[in-house]
């Protein structure tokens, strides 16, 4: 009789079935047809253009089961962070009216071609925290190394793509929820390895918001004109390019 618990093959077989189910589920999701505000701080405009035009990723670069599980675990941990903040007395809204069927808070600009959905809005906090409300709430999960860098250097330096998202969301959400751009946002980072939490108040950076907004417009204009935006680097060895899902496509082009 097979010893199921100690047969590596059994785990491999079951994991392959799980991964196949996850990737099949992901494959039928409708691709985004807008520029997501959470991505606009990515360092390479050409990579953003590939992403937003739905250019096929290089072979082997599509999300695999493990990556999809990492995303799902991140979402589940963010739900826990909501519960922990509420338990601490933070009046946090993740959906309109805090009803499960209430829509997410978000914005649309450029005729809906740039959109963002926020993790939450803080309406009030415990008195001793002195939170200025309403405040935008953004939550991310990180491995221990990235989390420690975030604690040490702050989100703006250690994770500029998140800082760009926060600034853009504060700018665009202020019209519907006045005060979000004048009050600092609360950024929460969860250490996935140790369950430690980092919280940081992020003042509105108007210059950053403007730069990211301009970048969104530039990408839309390039897409409309059928133009390719410049590469971030002069060599495919560049750090960002080595991790890029469109590296072969990009560097096979004449320029």
What does the binding site for ligand SF4 look like in residue numbers (CB under 6 A)?
Answer: 44, 46-47, 50, 231-233, 240-241, 244, 246-247, 250
CB of 242 to ligand SF4, least distance (A): 8
Other residues' Cβ atoms within 10 Å of the Cβ of residue 164? 25
Strand partners, 104: 95
Q: Which CB atom, from 80 or from 243, has the smaller least distance to ligand SF4? A: 243
Roughly how many angstroms between the first and final C-alpha of the chain, as a whole number?
A: 61
Q: Which CB atom, from 102 or from 230, has the smaller least distance to ligand SF4? A: 230
Q: Which CB atom, from 91 or from 240, has the smaller least distance to ligand SF4? A: 240
26: Cβ contacts below 8 Å, ≥ 6 apart: 63, 68
Q: Which CB atom, from 159 or from 231, has the smaller least distance to ligand SF4? A: 231
- Structure token digits, residue 103: 């829509």
Distance CA 187, CA 185 (A): 6
Return the residue matching tokens 């096979």.
Answer: 252
CB of 244 to ligand SF4, least distance (A): 3
Other residues' Cβ atoms within 10 Å of the Cβ of residue 27? 9
| Closest to 192 in 3D by CA, of 157, 150, 140 | 140
Q: Which CB atom, from 172 or from 246, has the smaller least distance to ligand SF4? A: 246
129: Cβ contacts below 8 Å, ≥ 6 apart: 90
Q: Which CB atom, from 121 or from 247, has the smaller least distance to ligand SF4? A: 247
| Closest to 134 in 3D by CA, of 170, 187, 103, 84 | 170
């Amino acid at each position: 009789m097979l010893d199921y618990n100690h047969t590596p093959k059994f785990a491999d077989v079951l994991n392959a079935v799980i991964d196949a189910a996850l990737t099949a589920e992901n494959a039928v999701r409708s691709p985004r047809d807008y520029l997501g505000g959470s991505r606009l701080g990515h360092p390479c405009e050409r990579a953003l253009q590939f992403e937003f035009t739905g250019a096929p990723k290089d072979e082997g670069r599509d999300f695999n089961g493990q990556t999809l599980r990492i995303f799902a675990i991140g979402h589940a941990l963010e739900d826990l962070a909501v519960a922990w903040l509420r338990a601490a007395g933070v009046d946090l809204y993740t959906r309109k009216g805090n009803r499960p069927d209430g829509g997410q808070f978000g914005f649309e600009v450029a005729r809906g071609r740039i959109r963002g959905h926020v993790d939450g809005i803080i309406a009030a906090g415990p008195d001793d925290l002195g939170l200025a409300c309403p405040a935008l709430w953004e939550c991310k999960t990180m491995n221990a190394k990235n989390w420690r860098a975030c604690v040490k250097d702050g989100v703006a330096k250690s994770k500029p793509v998140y800082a760009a998202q926060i600034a853009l969301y504060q700018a665009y959400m202020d019209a519907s929820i006045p005060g979000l751009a004048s009050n600092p946002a609360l950024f929460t980072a969860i250490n996935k390895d140790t369950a430690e939490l980092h919280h940081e108040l992020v003042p509105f950076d108007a210059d950053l918001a403007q730069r990211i907004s301009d970048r969104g417009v530039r990408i839309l204009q390039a897409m409309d004109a059928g133009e390719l935006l410049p590469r971030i680097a002069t060599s495919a060895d560049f750090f960002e390019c080595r991790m890029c899902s469109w590296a072969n496509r990009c560097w096979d082009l004449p320029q």
